[in-house]
Amino acid sequence: MISRRKALRTGAGLAAIAAVGAPSILHAQTKTLKITTWGGKWGEVMKATVLPAFEKEFKCTVSADQAFPFLPKLQVSSKNDPIYDVLHTNSNEQWNAVVEGLVMAKITAKEVPNIADVYPYAVSDKIVGVTIFTSAIGLGFRTDKGLTKPTSWKDLADPKLAGARGGYLIPVNSLGQAHLMMLGKVYGKGLTDLDAAYKALEALKPIKLVDFTGQMEKMLLSAEVSMGVIHDSGVYRYEGANMQPVDFASPSEGVLALEQVLNVTPGSKVKELAFAYIDYMLRPDVQKLLAEAVWYSPANKKVKLEAKYDAKLLTTPEKVATLIQPDWKWYNARREDIDARVTKILKG
């Protein structure tokens, strides 16, 4: 027979175990999704609205890394227990990641149902993972310098713009890399005509080069350059801010796609949740919120944007057809040679 004292002692012991163990049990039940995401306005909206709503709906916590670059961190983490479950980068980095087996090669509507509603470019053969948004890379220009709105990529080579045109340090910036390929298309036989591209690049000197788009935005806003390669979002997001005399032009040869791509790491322990997150990011309401916050063109065809966004972003099949997607697999395979060549061309 159990004595009263023994029963009390046993009860107290069980209560203590329960009290100590409860947080870990609770923790075990709450899954954590590890993602990468951008900072700035995008990061603000994600942290304030998008991610809390996802956490509430899927009863999980999201750990978001905004400290770029992400791929080197993924490279050194274990493939069986990767540092991220969902990798958000531009398209060319996804191609680097898939070569090393760090992300999935393809994601279909079976795993992410909203893929059924995306434009074809979002899951084309130029994409590893799924595109959730895209920007259009074209030409940003000052409207107060007596320039006519550029209609061709060739307008950047106008002698009047010597020293007042802007581009990117090609080895470190995907807009610069995409622009180099576009020079091959405009001046040569196509995106892969590197000889024509190198020659055209040489003709753009003197040119001011920066390593990230934020710096190009700053150079345009301060009139340090009168025209430069930039994505539409980098110009449109200043709309209404002190009436900046800066505008964006889509050259007739086409605009280059700067895709925002999500992908899942093969070793993720919460793969279902990772797919659910991508599906959530493709929902029309989430797409609308983010698209209007940062002027990104949504990948989901069903998204209806406010008129002022709809007028400028790629929201119809006709406008989407002007997008040119670079072959990053091809580019990355030649990257070392290209980096060396363009560095020599642009130095001095």
Residues that bind other proteins (CB under 8 A): 69, 71-72, 75-79, 96, 100, 163-164, 169, 171-173, 207-209, 211, 215, 222-224, 335-337, 339-340, 343-344, 346-348
Task: Please say which residue, 95 or 119, places its beta carbon nearer to other proteins.
Answer: 95
Q: What residue type is assigned to position 295 of the chain?
A: W
Q: What residue type is assigned to position 233 of the chain?
A: S
Categorise residue 276: left if φ over 0, alpha if ψ from -120 to 50, beta otherwise: alpha
Shortest Cβ 289–other proteins spacing (Å): 30
In this structure, the dihedral spanned by the alpha carbons of residues 107, 108, 114 and 117, taken in order and rounded to 10 degrees, is 120
Task: Please say which residue, 21 or 214, places its beta carbon nearer to other proteins.
Answer: 214
Nearest to 214 by CA among 60, 85, 2, 38: 38
Spatial distance between the Cα atoms of 27 and 19, rounded to a whole number of angstroms:
13
Shortest Cβ 77–other proteins spacing (Å): 8
Radius of gyration of the chain (CA): 24
Shortest Cβ 91–other proteins spacing (Å): 14
Burial label for 208, CB within 10 Å (0-12, 13-18, 19+), is middle
In this structure, the dihedral spanned by the alpha carbons of residues 316, 317, 319 and 324, taken in order and rounded to 10 degrees, is 140
Residue 156 CB contacts under 8 Å (≥ 6 apart), including other chains: 139, 150, 165, 204, 227, 228, 229
Shortest Cβ 269–other proteins spacing (Å): 17
Task: Please say which residue, 77 or 322, places its beta carbon nearer to other proteins.
Answer: 77
Shortest Cβ 278–other proteins spacing (Å): 23
Q: Tell me which residue has tokens 């493709």.
A: 282
246, β-bridge pairs: 142
Task: Please say which residue, 231 or 312, places its beta carbon nearer to other proteins.
Answer: 231
Shortest Cβ 182–other proteins spacing (Å): 19
List, in sequence order, every beta strand (DSSP E) within 66-150: 86-90, 130-142
- Written as six digits, the tokens of 325 are 């997607």
Task: Please say which residue, 128 or 164, places its beta carbon nearer to other proteins.
Answer: 164
Task: Please say which residue, 158 or 211, places its beta carbon nearer to other proteins.
Answer: 211
Task: Please say which residue, 190 or 214, places its beta carbon nearer to other proteins.
Answer: 214
Shortest Cβ 17–other proteins spacing (Å): 37
